[in-house]
């Protein structure tokens, strides 16, 4: 049964990518894109239900592996991909209307959107550490042309930076994978099984610690480039700022998570082999550095998408830090924060996209008084900002609170640093968003209110999860957290 | 300490790989750079073939053939076509301080060998020391990416980085599973195509393939 | 310990080699020049031309500048002596020579350096601008070439666990056949050093007196007659010594052991073939390359150093 659901989950976006590669320039391509993403989401729901009922399983000759941890990311990915496709339908049409995009570019966008979903889902569900790498690289390849979709000099520069930096980063991850295989080969013998995560997990105690240590450094640096950890982050703000807004939303909300998932898979193996907190310490270090540096950079931003890109670095740093601390509570908090961040950040990008589209610029100084122009966009952005800044009663508050209390308990010295960074980030973002939303403007109100249902759906979910966590969900997260050790 | 001749041969090829990596680091002309890249691919294919022969693992023959096809024929051909169409055949990289680059490269090699030394001690038989050389050539390609200012040479550096990794995968660990190798090869091929598209877009927009033009996006 | 008869035999070998090198060195230079002439479609002056030149120079009267000091006068003798000594201690036809135990490879490099220092001092002694210029350039080239040469020798020493040339040759020649990646690198580096140290193209051109490019010739402009002859002869010896070192390190197979009379003819024939091949190779190399600007020389020699160090590193990593 489960293989059927998994097959549906993977084949629908692949099929959708193929269909859109052919029919991408038809007038109904956007609807087809949403339909395919919707079907993928349904498949992911079915898969999730199965896995929570019957526990982790391997499928298709052990090439795929589903447990509570990755199915949580699968569900999140499919959901955000679906809502983003809904958002992009009107958004991209308006862009085309403004003459910023041609039909050919939209064609490329739709087919690559589905392929991108496919590669992320493969990276999440595969059991083979080598295939994770292949899928991550493929995810870069599918998005790189999307970042340069507008063909402006700055978007080309951003895409080139993204391509080169992530290409180099991911190459280092491949070296880490090779080292992992090198260590595994001595225990599991040559052949296909030596890269299968489930097999590696069984023998992780026997893997050579010196090799795994080096392998993890390479894997963390490699996939860390994708996560956007400081100092490997410099591609991230550019790519987010210069690409089309739906692409920024999925990059920020999803791709970063997928890369982190790959790191966590490696961390479990390394912990088992080394029996020390080496991997955790490394992740905590990178995470803390990312939080601090991103917070300091936030106040210097002028471009609104760029600023929220830095906020993504900050939050990914926080999640990496939480996973680095390890233990059931910190892992639980990390996963919760992952969920909250994905939902909130994509909602913010949707709102920002509309705001920037209406203002005709991404420069924050020139976007003013959103509430007067369009109350929906204004409130969407305001609420999203409140949520991402960790204001109660939104869910981000709950997860950040959990992370910080755990840190206070386990590593007290990190608490003041984290609090200070979060405070700086709060001041920076709030100070910049406040005039944008509430300021005075001379622009005329829009005749029609924009469709921003995805924004409010996301924010509503974040709000509900902040107020009340259903026991079913809490139980699921707890199981997943336990898997991460 | 008698080492079988095949292993000596692989060691020699490994050393050659490193030498080519250095030659690429010092090469100013783009055309010669691409030819060196093809040579590197040939060495890689040969060493994969020797490993396949000595360990009699049949799937390594496929990867050797794949390497020969992709790295020696298709990619260099694509790159030659590209630089011909872009009319940058005779471009020369200026602003390249070769002695300093070389010394930095040497330091990187020492660093890589040091890093790989504990692993070399572990490896049995055929693989001894090869990880160190693979790592060193990866690092040299990284250095090359840092020092280059032309888009084409950066891409060649990127591809030669991939060569170093492939050497680690085939010779040092005696072959990753074929699925993975095929996936990697596909990714590299697609990446080269996308790079090609990029070259045209970049030249159309900036009227040059010098990426020094592309340093506008900064946090001020 | 050797017994008496072996010792006498070794002395005989040593004396044979001493005579052989000093007589054969100009012939090698002649051979290289002749090969070049053939490659350039000239008929050439014949292989014996260097002897004729030496003969002519020895019969001339020496002219020495008024302000020349004793240093200027004795330099040709010192240089000649150094080169003769160097050529004598390299195992050329037999491994175990009594002299070669005295000096190892590092001392050998020291002997070359001593000669170079004297010739540079003598060049500056007269006080002409050319001499100073030549000395300065020579020092630039040699200070880059010498570390590379040492690295090459170290690589060979590492493989054979000795800095004694005879031990190195013995280890390399009598082991079973093995591919040494480290030695391949060292050999490349050595070729570059050889070209630079012997004032060959592409670093220097021995057959011109163009002020912009000359290095070695600029230093010996003030010498004439027998002094010049000695220096020319020393240059031939130096080339001979370098090629011999190259053969000893990278192609030692077939060398005879002391007392092995039966092996001696074969060893001599092999040696002759190797020398002829090396000389021809050198000529080809010089014909196909162009002289590089003096400012490029550091880059060229830097490559040699790099290759030599790489060879050493690879030896460490691969153990071969």
Give dist(CA A260, CA C91) in Å, integer.
64
Tokens of A474: 């809490």
- Say whether pLDDT at B82 is over 50: yes
Question: Which of these ranges, A93-107, B81-95, B206-220, has the smallest mean pLDDT?
Answer: B206-220
Give dist(CA A283, CA A224) in Å, integer.
9
Q: Is B187 on the interface with A (CB under 8 A)?
A: yes
Judge: B161–A171 Cβ closer than 8 Å, yes or no.
Answer: yes
- Say whether pLDDT at B217 is over 80: no
Judge: A160–B211 Cβ closer than 8 Å, yes or no.
Answer: yes
Q: What is the pLDDT of residues B20-70, one digit of tens each?
A: 998 888 888 888 889 999 999 999 999 888 888 888 878 888 888 988 998
In chain C, which residues have their Cβ closer than 8 Å to the Cβ of B133?
Answer: 314, 317
pLDDT band at B220 (very low <50, low <70, confident <90, very high): low
The rounded average pLDDT for each run of 10 residues, N- to C-terminus, in chain A (485 residues) is 84 91 87 92 91 84 87 92 91 85 89 93 92 91 89 88 88 90 82 82 87 91 92 90 91 90 92 89 94 92 92 94 91 92 92 86 86 86 92 90 92 93 93 88 68 86 88 88 84
Task: Note whether C26 and C233 are within 8 A (CB).
Answer: yes
Give dist(CA C97, CA C169) in Å, integer.
12
In chain A, which residues have their Cβ closer than 8 Å to the Cβ of B174?
Answer: 185, 190
What pTM was computed for the model?
Answer: 0.86
Determine the pLDDT at residue A287. 94
Judge: C179–B109 Cβ closer than 8 Å, yes or no.
Answer: no
* Sequence-distant (≥ 6) Cβ neighbours of residue B184 within 8 angstroms: A130, A133, A134, A137, A174, B162, B165, B166, B169
Share of chain B above pLDDT 70, in %: 93
Give dist(CA B65, CA A91) in Å, integer.
47
Judge: C319–B128 Cβ closer than 8 Å, yes or no.
Answer: yes
Task: Note whether A125 and A64 are within 8 A (CB).
Answer: yes
Give dist(CA A147, CA C181) in Å, integer.
46
List the single residue in A with minimal CA-CA distance to B135.
A175
Distance from the Cα of residue C114 to its chain's centroid? 14
For chain A positions 358-377, those within 8 Å of chain B (CB to CB) are none
Task: Report cis status (omega within 30 of 0) of the bond before B203.
Answer: no
Q: Is A206 on the interface with B (CB under 8 A)?
A: no
Inter-axis angle of helices A256-274 and A129-147, nearest 10:
160
Q: Is C161 on the interface with B (CB under 8 A)?
A: no
Q: Is B19 on the interface with C (CB under 8 A)?
A: yes
Q: Is A199 on the interface with B (CB under 8 A)?
A: no
Q: Which of A372, A376, A394 is nearest to A385 (CA)?
A: A394
Judge: A192–B177 Cβ closer than 8 Å, yes or no.
Answer: yes
First CA to last CA distance, chain A = 29
Determine the pLDDT at residue C320. 52
Share of chain B above pLDDT 90, in %: 11
List the single residue in C with minimal CA-CA distance to B121.
C317
Give dist(CA B204, CA B61) in Å, integer.
42
- Residue B150 C-alpha, separation from nearest chain C C-alpha, in angstroms: 22
- Helix boundaries (H) for B56-177: 58-67, 75-86, 98-122, 130-147, 151-167
For chain B positions 20-79, those within 8 Å of chain A (CB to CB) are 57
Tokens of C205: 């051109």
Q: Which of A471, A344, A479, A349 is nearest to A399 (CA)?
A: A344
Q: Which of A274, A282, A257, A263 is nearest to A172 (CA)?
A: A263
Determine the pLDDT at residue A138. 92
First CA to last CA distance, chain C = 31
List the single residue in C with minimal CA-CA distance to B102.
C306
Determine the pLDDT at residue C64. 82
Judge: B15–C302 Cβ closer than 8 Å, yes or no.
Answer: no
Neighbours of chain C (3+ CB pairs under 8 A): B
Closest in B145, B161, B176 to A130, CB measured: B176
- Coil vs helix vs strand at A303: strand
Task: Report cis status (omega within 30 of 0) of the bond before C88.
Answer: no
Q: Is B167 exposed, middle or buried (0-12, 13-18, 19+ CB in 10 A)?
A: buried
Q: What is the pLDDT of residues B168-204, one digit of tens each?
A: 888 777 777 777 888 888 888 888 888 888 888 888 8
The H helix count followed by the E strand count for chain C is 11, 0
ipTM over 0.85: yes
Residue C19 neighbours by CB distance under 10 Å: 11
* Sequence-distant (≥ 6) Cβ neighbours of residue C179 within 8 angstroms: B5, B8, B9, B11, B12, C320
Determine B/C contact with 3+ CB pairs under 8 A as the test. yes
Q: Is A133 on the interface with B (CB under 8 A)?
A: yes
- Residue B189 C-alpha, separation from nearest chain C C-alpha, in angstroms: 32
List Cα–Cα distances, A460 to A251, A311, A395, A455, A467, in angstroms.
22, 21, 10, 8, 11
Q: Which of A140, A225, A238, A164 is nearest to B155 (CA)?
A: A164
Determine the pLDDT at residue B2. 57
Q: Is B189 on the interface with A (CB under 8 A)?
A: no
Task: Note whether A410 and A330 are within 8 A (CB).
Answer: yes
Interface test with C, best of B15, B102, B105 (most C CBs within 10 A): B15
- Residue C202 C-alpha, separation from nearest chain B C-alpha, in angstroms: 18
Q: Which of B160, B135, B157 is nearest to B148 (CA)?
A: B157
Beta-bridge mates of residue A57: A66
To the nearest whole number, what is the mean pLDDT of chain B?
A: 83
pLDDT band at B125 (very low <50, low <70, confident <90, very high): low
Determine the pLDDT at residue B198. 84
Angle at A429 between CA A426 and CA A431, to 5 degrees: 95
Judge: A145–B197 Cβ closer than 8 Å, yes or no.
Answer: yes
Judge: B110–C185 Cβ closer than 8 Å, yes or no.
Answer: no
Q: Is A182 on the interface with B (CB under 8 A)?
A: yes
Q: Is B1 on the interface with C (CB under 8 A)?
A: yes
List the single residue in A with minimal CA-CA distance to B173.
A182
Determine the pLDDT at residue B219. 63
Residues in chain C predicted with pLDDT less than 70, given as ranges, are: 1-3, 94-97, 100, 174-179, 209, 211, 256-261, 319-320
Determine C/A contact with 3+ CB pairs under 8 A as the test. no
């Amino acid at each position: 049964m489960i293989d059927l659901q998994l097959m549906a989950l993977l084949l629908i976006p692949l099929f959708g990518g193929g269909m859109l590669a052919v029919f991408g320039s038809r007038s109904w391509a956007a609807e087809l894109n949403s339909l395919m993403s919707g079907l993928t989401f349904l498949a992911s729901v079915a898969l999730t239900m199965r896995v929570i009922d019957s526990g982790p399983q391997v499928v298709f000759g052990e090439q795929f592996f589903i447990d509570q941890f990755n199915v949580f990311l699968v569900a999140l990915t499919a959901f955000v991909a679906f809502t983003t496709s809904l958002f992009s339908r009107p958004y991209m049409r308006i862009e085309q209307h403004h003459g910023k995009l041609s039909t050919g570019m939209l064609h490329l966008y739709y087919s690559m959107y589905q392929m991108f979903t496919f590669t992320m889902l493969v990276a999440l569900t595969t059991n083979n550490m080598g295939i994770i790498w292949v899928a991550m690289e493929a995810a870069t390849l599918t998005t790189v042309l999307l970042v340069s979709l507008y063909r402006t000099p700055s978007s080309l520069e951003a895409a080139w930076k993204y391509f080169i930096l992530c290409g180099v980063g991911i190459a280092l991850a491949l070296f880490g994978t090779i080292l992992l295989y090198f260590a595994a080969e001595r225990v599991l013998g040559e052949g296909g099984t030596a890269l299968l995560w489930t097999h590696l997990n069984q023998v992780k105690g026997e893997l050579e610690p010196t090799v795994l240590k080096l392998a993890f450094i390479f894997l963390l640096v490699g996939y860390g480039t994708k996560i956007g950890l400081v100092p490997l982050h410099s591609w991230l703000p550019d790519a987010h700022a210069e690409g089309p807004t739906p692409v920024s939303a999925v990059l920020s909300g999803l791709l970063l998570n997928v890369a982190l998932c790959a790191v966590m898979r490696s961390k479990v193996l390394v912990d088992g082999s080394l029996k020390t907190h080496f991997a955790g310490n490394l992740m905590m270090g990178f995470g803390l550095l990312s939080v601090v540096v991103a917070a300091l950079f936030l106040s210097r931003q002028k471009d609104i998408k760029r600023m929220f890109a830095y906020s993504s670095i900050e939050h990914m740093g926080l999640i990496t830090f939480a996973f680095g601390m390890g233990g059931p509570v910190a892992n639980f908090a990390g996963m919760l924060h992952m969920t909250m961040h994905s939902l909130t950040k994509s909602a913010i990008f949707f709102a920002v996209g509309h705001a920037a589209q209406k203002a005709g610029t991404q420069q924050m100084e020139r976007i003013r008084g959103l509430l007067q122009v369009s109350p929906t966009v204004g409130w969407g952005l305001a609420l999203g900002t409140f949520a991402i800044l960790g204001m109660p009663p939104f869910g981000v508050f709950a997860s950040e609170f959990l992370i910080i209390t755990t840190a206070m308990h386990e590593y007290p010295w990190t608490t003041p640093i984290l609090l200070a960074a979060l405070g700086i980030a709060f001041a920076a973002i709030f100070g910049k968003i406040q005039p944008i939303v509430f300021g005075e403007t001379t622009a005329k109100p829009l005749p029609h209110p924009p469709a921003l249902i995805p924004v409010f759906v996301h924010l509503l979910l974040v709000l509900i999860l902040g107020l009340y966590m259903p026991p079913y969900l809490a139980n699921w997260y707890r199981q997943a957290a336990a898997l991460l050790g | 300490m008698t080492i079988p001749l095949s292993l000596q041969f692989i060691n020699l090829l490994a050393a050659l790989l490193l030498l080519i990596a250095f030659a690429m680091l010092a090469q100013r002309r783009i055309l010669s750079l691409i030819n060196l890249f093809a040579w590197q691919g040939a060495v890689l294919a040969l060493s994969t073939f020797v490993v396949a022969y000595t360990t009699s693992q049949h799937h390594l023959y496929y990867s050797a053939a794949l390497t020969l096809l992709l790295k020696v024929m298709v990619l260099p051909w694509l790159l030659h076509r590209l630089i011909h169409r872009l009319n940058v055949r005779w471009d020369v990289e200026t602003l390249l301080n070769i002695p300093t680059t070389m010394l930095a490269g040497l330091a990187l090699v020492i660093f890589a060998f040091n890093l790989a030394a504990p692993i070399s001690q572990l490896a049995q038989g055929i693989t001894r020391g090869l990880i160190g050389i693979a790592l060193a050539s990866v690092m040299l390609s990284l250095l090359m990416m840092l020092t280059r200012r032309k888009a084409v040479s950066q891409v060649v550096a990127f591809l030669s980085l991939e060569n170093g990794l492939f050497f680690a995968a085939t010779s040092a660990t005696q072959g990753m599973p074929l699925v993975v190798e095929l996936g990697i090869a596909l990714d590299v091929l697609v990446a080269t195509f996308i790079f090609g598209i990029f070259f045209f877009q970049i030249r159309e927009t900036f009227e040059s393939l010098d990426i020094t033009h592309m340093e506008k996006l900064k946090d001020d | 310990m050797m017994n008496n008869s072996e010792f006498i035999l070794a002395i005989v070998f040593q004396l044979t080699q001493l005579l052989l090198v000093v007589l054969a060195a100009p012939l090698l230079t002649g051979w290289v020049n002749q090969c070049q002439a053939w490659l350039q479609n000239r008929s050439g002056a014949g292989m014996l031309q260097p002897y004729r030149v030496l003969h002519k120079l020895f019969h001339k009267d020496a002219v020495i500048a008024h302000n020349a000091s004793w240093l200027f006068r004795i330099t040709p003798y010192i240089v000649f002596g150094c080169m003769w000594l160097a050529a004598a201690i390299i195992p050329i036809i037999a491994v175990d020579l009594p002299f070669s135990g005295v000096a190892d490879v590092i001392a050998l490099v020291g002997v070359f350096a001593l000669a170079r220092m004297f010739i540079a001092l003598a060049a500056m002694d007269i006080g002409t601008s050319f001499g100073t210029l030549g000395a300065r350039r020579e020092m630039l080239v040699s200070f880059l070439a010498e570390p590379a040469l040492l690295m090459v020798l170290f690589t060979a020493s590492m493989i054979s666990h000795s800095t004694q040339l005879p031990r190195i040759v013995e280890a390399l020649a009598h082991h079973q056949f093995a591919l040494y990646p480290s030695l391949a690198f060292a050999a490349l580096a050595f070729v570059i050093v050889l070209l630079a140290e012997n004032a060959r193209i592409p670093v220097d051109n021995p057959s011109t007196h163009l002020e912009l490019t000359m290095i070695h010739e600029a230093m010996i402009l003030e010498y004439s007659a027998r002094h010049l002859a000695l220096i020319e002869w020393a240059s031939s010896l130096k080339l001979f010594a370098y090629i011999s070192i190259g053969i000893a390190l990278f192609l030692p197979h077939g060398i005879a052991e002391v007392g092995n009379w039966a092996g001696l003819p074969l060893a001599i024939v092999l040696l002759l073939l190797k020398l002829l091949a090396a000389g021809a190779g050198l000529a080809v190399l010089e014909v196909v390359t162009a002289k590089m600007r003096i400012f490029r020389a550091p880059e060229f020699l830097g490559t040699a150093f790099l290759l030599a160090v790489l060879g050493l590193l690879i030896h460490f990593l691969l153990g071969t």
